[in-house]
Chains A and B, each alone.
Chain A
């Protein structure tokens, strides 16, 4: 059985306005997303800004309560779980955020920050073991020096802070990590260090990961499978190993075509999409991508293509993909 099952997940944010501050519209941030994650795999989520990938991540740790659909973790439905149940859930599923500076408390030393998590989520273990020792172990696991524990977040560089963010997520000994753009704010040489660290920790702790990024190159390198999102919908799901050959959805093809190249020898005309992204307030009835799609047909703007299995392990939401 899959570790995480997501079915028709929706997240609509109300927009208030007018004299009486009534709800005047909804932003359709996530619009009926379904997928499964198997134990031990790394699932990538890729898409451009505003496609709902971060909201999806936040729904899955219940920082947002989904407005529709459901998700089950290890067979248990946590979509509307109460506070007690969430405590247990969040000690198993943790999140790493994009900006490691704003997600760390500037007034806590690294020791205080990690001790808090350990005492809260692993109280029984903390009774029999020396908490300081556990903190030190974590800090060294993420590749920081032992003297880092008594420093404050501002004393570290961006890459080091992201390591602390990862250490904090690992402090409650989770099984599942949702990483939201964990390397996007980092320089390339530091990005490689953090990606390698995540890979090592995944093996060591037997983690399952959802890795959210806008960078297809990073996803391709790091993940097993990828969900491509466009305007709140998954438009394609496929294996990363054969991403270039098997990507079928015109949006995925456009992303691949717009991605910068590895070597000047591969120079080509970059794919340029015409038109603008439709407003998430007022979604078109048909395929959300139809307005910019180079191969769209009239039926594309009439009804929304379902996300169908095209071949084993490959789903696409497009009428024109065989």
Chain B
């Protein structure tokens, strides 16, 4: 039972990290109906840009290497870079494709992902970098000593951060003018335009916010596994989360993440040994496909009804 709990809790905490990446997809899909295949590349770009700035800033400014000022300055500069990337994407890639079929927009984001990956490595190089956020990835001693359950303090921190981020986004969508405009755009582009909501302005904001989410996800995943090209693979973890939680729901991303995280870990431990192991990569997709049969719009997604 103890081991089961350990696997379950570890899975739930990993699930929150998947949700963090899934959030970026949800934001853009919600506002523009675009499935942004480049979200994984954006996570990589954000983390690499952040680490790149932490490397060059001490040389440029004379600030202490590894100090708090460099960290926050690099964070702000990386955030600005992400917002610029988001706005440029909207203006250069998506705006010319307004009113094109969704598949065209999807294909454009596939191209975008290659471009973003190439630009990131072109600017900052292909070297693999370490990233320390100052929170050690070690077990919480109290839990280990008193309950013999292993829970990572870093995973707990990441889960709390994701929780704060989701809460903030939910409040932003619910109570701010921009948030309401975003929801209106998500609901119906043309109706939103007809009442004077500037569609392109809203899209730019959404891409900027998605860039911010990508930066946070990139820092968390980068601190876990290093800042390297493999960060783009985090998007693969987010896809089944989206199918399960729904492409348009922020809370859905969290719940979907928790379900996927917990189920894949339990499956790996309890089912894996019977089928040769290594099932973590495909099990979430099988689960998501089965779920699609029952509820195609996901747990929290909007039911799509066409009048014929």
Asked if A and B bind, the verdict is no
A residues apposed to B, CB below 8 Å: none
